[in-house]
A and B are shown apart, each in its own frame.
Chain A
Amino acid sequence: MPLLDVRSLTTVFSANETDKKAVREISFSIEEGETLGLVGESGSGKTVTALSILRLIDEPGRIVSGEIIFDGLSLLDLDDKAIRRIRGEAISIVFQEPLTALNPVFTIGRQIVETFIAHRDATVREARRAALKAMEEVHLRDPERIFGEYPHRLSGGMRQRAMIAMALVLRPKLLIADEPTTALDVTIQAEILELFREIKKVSGMSILFITHDLGIMAALADRLCVMKEGRIVERGTVFDIFSYPKAEYTKELLKAIPRISPEMRKGW
């Protein structure tokens, strides 16, 4: 049985009497230990899908139909208290821009500790230890010092690692990464991807990786779903999609990847 099974999920946003469907009856599943890539351009509904899974969609949006089964539980039927237990503990999400996703008035350490204490009955000391351990796991150098720093004092890469540490501290079964590298420059991007690869290997966590960059997908995902305008237009393994794309849209996406041709490489 897959860890996450999404069936016919439809999420709409209402404005001025009309309902705009951001996600139209999409279905996909993620097995344990698998990394599923959700690819698509801006506005294709990738982020809304991720937020829908954790029921973070608020007015004017709402989930109108479908089922989301996680580890045997129907997420859409849970009461508020139950879904809050799932959030952060069973399913975690890492956002795109860590500067806005982290609270500017709290230190990094405080934010991670608070997350830990909110879910586990732990003392502050135990939470602090767990937080420092998580920070070491994401390779934040000098975790003691960063523990007491505010988000705006860290570099983009460090902030993103801090967010990942916060997402991992409770050992979730599913990690949703919503374009975690889009806001970073390319070299840092590579480092963060390497971190994800390591997380994948060491913890066996399932990952739902959302991006618009096919190149990243090739490096990280086992399977892919290509989204366009709220629908999944193609799915398959990374190899299948890159080698034998079926949908027109997928082919367009692949063609859009800038390549350095042999001519351009002559001067290297």
Chain B
Amino acid sequence: MIREILKKRQIVIGAMVIILMASAAVFAPFISHFDPYEQNLSADARLQPPSTRHIFGTDDLGRDLFSRMVHGARTSLSVGFIAVAIMLVVGITLGVLAGYYGGAVDFAVMRLVEVMMCFPTLYLILALLAFLGPSVYYVMIVIGLTSWMGLARLIRAEFLSLREREFVVAAKALGATDMRIAFRHILPNALAPVFVSITFSLGGAILIESSLSFLGLGVQIPVPSWGNIISTGRFYIESAWWLTVFPGLAILFSVLSFYLIGDGLRSVLDPRLKR
């Protein structure tokens, strides 16, 4: 199956872009020639177009855009991954409990899911952040805590059919406890659609973080994030197009790559799910 996954061009291209960006993020201090916070307010340093010296140009405070962007990649990508990690923990746990035990547990979890889904995610996040105060950590937690519902429903659905399978009875017949059966035996079988969901969620999380930073509620300047770079750059759209175009393209390509991977995975895994 891994071979099939690697054969799909979408997945390979998507994965390569993500790996490229992630590497840039990890090695940011090494590949950026300039300090992302170093300002240079002289007229010949501010708002410079892309050149051999500044690959992406400079911003309104004379800071090198490329350096700011690779550091911003750190923020944007890590927020995405951590938010999704939180989402996984909450979503999988609740989905497993609801799907395995059914009855009252299922009822309670599903009602919680429905209540959470009533809130438009972005506005809920905005409200929470306005209340808590803007901070990268709050952003990660809040995105994670408001996006787990789809995953929980997915896991629960898989469990509803998997728990009738004979290997569950067999495991029970050999003395396994409920928790063990649910998490060690059934869950690995239920994960196929989860991988697809994760990639889409990663794309979504990056978009949300960028939106929040753009609005000023996420990562605070001067800490760079693709979103807040666009936010300061939008006043110069006509004159210094690079300030909005490059981070915009970065967001576009990262989210698109995640979607490509997810879509590719889905077509590889889907017919197999019917086996």
Q: Which residues of A contact B (CB under 8 A)?
A: 51, 54, 56, 84-89, 92-93, 95, 97, 100-106, 114-115, 118-119, 163, 166-167
Contact = CB atoms under 8 A, between A and B. Distances in A.
Given A86-B175, A101-B167, A106-B185, 18 more contacts: A56-B172, A88-B173, A89-B175, A92-B173, A92-B174, A100-B165, A101-B166, A101-B169, A103-B171, A103-B189, A104-B167, A105-B188, A106-B188, A114-B184, A118-B180, A119-B175, A166-B174, A167-B174
A88 B166 contact: no
B42 interface: no
A118 B169 CA distance: 16
Interface in B41-57: none
A56 B173 contact: yes
Given A85-B175, A87-B175, A118-B175, A56 B169 contact: yes
Given A95-B170, A97-B166, A104 B177 contact: no
B166 A100 contact: yes
> Taking chain B's interface residues, is the majority helix, strand, or loop, or is none over half, making it mixed?
helix
B101 to A, nearest CB: 11
B176 interface: yes
A208 to B, nearest CB: 13
B170 A102 contact: yes
Given A103-B185, A103-B189, A105-B188, A115 B174 contact: yes
A88 B189 contact: no
Given A103-B189, A105-B188, A54 B173 contact: yes
A118 B174 CA distance: 9
A167 B171 CA distance: 11
Interface in B115-172: 165-167, 169-172
B170 A101 contact: yes
Interface in B181-201: 184-185, 188-189
A11 to B, nearest CB: 15
A87 B184 CA distance: 18
Contact of B174 (A88, A97, A100): A88
Interface of B: 165-167, 169-177, 180, 184-185, 188-189
A100 B173 contact: no
B191 to A, nearest CB: 9
Nearest to B171: A103
B177 A84 contact: yes
A104 B174 contact: no
5 contacts: A56-B173, A95-B173, A97-B166, A101-B169, A104-B189
Nearest to B165: A100
A88 B169 contact: no
A119 B177 CA distance: 11
Contacts of A93: 170, 173
Interchain residue pairs A-B with the least CB separation, the first 4: A88-B174, A88-B175, A100-B166, A87-B175
A167 B175 CA distance: 11
A100 B167 CA distance: 6
B96 to A, nearest CB: 15
Contacts of B185: 103, 106
B1 to A, nearest CB: 12
Given A103-B189, A104-B189, A105-B189, A95 B169 contact: yes
Contacts of B177: 84
A148 to B, nearest CB: 17
A2 B169 CA distance: 27
A84 B166 contact: no
B172 A87 contact: yes
A114 to B, nearest CB: 8
A140 B241 CA distance: 70
Given A103-B185, A104-B189, A105-B188, A84 B167 contact: no
Contact of B167 (A86, A89, A102): A102
A197 B174 CA distance: 23
Nearest to B192: A105
Contacts of A84: 175-177
Nearest to A115: B174
B251 to A, nearest CB: 36
B166 to A, nearest CB: 4
A134 B167 CA distance: 20
A84 B175 CA distance: 4
B109 to A, nearest CB: 19
B176 A118 contact: yes
A89 B176 CA distance: 11
A223 B172 CA distance: 29
Most buried by A among B167, B169, B184, B185: B167
